[in-house]
Amino acid sequence: IGGAPSAIVEARMTAKPDIPGLNAMIVDGPRPAIFLSYRGEQPLTVLGSQGEAFLKFTGHSVLVNPDSPSWQALPNAPVLPEQEDAAWSTLSHSGSFSWLDPRLDPEARGHHDAEPLGGWSIELEIANGERERVAGLFSRRTIQ
C-alpha cells in the first residue's frame, strides 16, 4: 500500500513499582498512551517531564495541576472548569486516568526510523516523598 509505514513503534512496560493499589498499563494505538489506576490510602503524584507535579491520584479521584507544562502540552487535554486559586483541578472521580504522555512518543523524542529507540520512564512520588518509576522500552514491529 503506497505511503503506508513499513513498521510501527510500540511502547511496552518493563518496570512498575510495587505500590499498593497501583495498576498501570500501556494503551496501544497509533500513539501509545498510559493508563493509571490507583486505590491506595496515601496520595500518589505523577511528575511531569520537567519534574513538576503533574497529576495527583488520591485513591478515589484524579487531580491535575493546570499550571504543569506537561498538562499544557497534552494533545488531548480536556478543558478544565474555571476555578479561582485552584492549585489542583479534578479530572476524574474514579481514581483512574489515561493520557497521551509525550514520553511515550519516540518521534517527539527525536527518534527516527533507522535509530535505536531506547526506553521511557514516568516518575511517581509517594506521600513520604520517595520516588519510583514506571518504565519501559520502545520497539519496532514490521507491518506485513
pLDDT tens digits, one per residue of 118-141: 899 999 999 999 999 999 998 887
**What is the sign of the dihedral through the CA atoms of 109, 107, 97 and 59?**
negative
Alpha-carbon span 137 to 128, nearest angstrom: 28
What does each C-alpha distance from 4 to 1, 10, 31, 94, 143 come to in angstroms? 6, 16, 16, 38, 9
CA nearest to 64, candidates 25, 31, 98, 23 = 98
* Residue pair 57/44 in contact by the 8 Å Cβ criterion: yes
The more confident residue out of 96 and 73 is: 96
Length of the chain: 144
Q: pTM of the full predicted structure?
A: 0.85
Report yes or no: 54 and 71 within 8 Å, Cβ to Cβ: yes
Residue-wise pLDDT for 14-60, tens only, equals 999 999 999 999 998 778 899 999 999 999 999 999 999 999 999 89
70 C-beta neighbours (distance < 10 Å), count: 24
Q: Which of 100, 93, 94, 80 is nearest to 35 (CA)?
A: 100
pLDDT value at residue 111? 46
Phi, psi of 79 (to 5 degrees): -75, 130
pLDDT over 80 at 86, yes or no: no
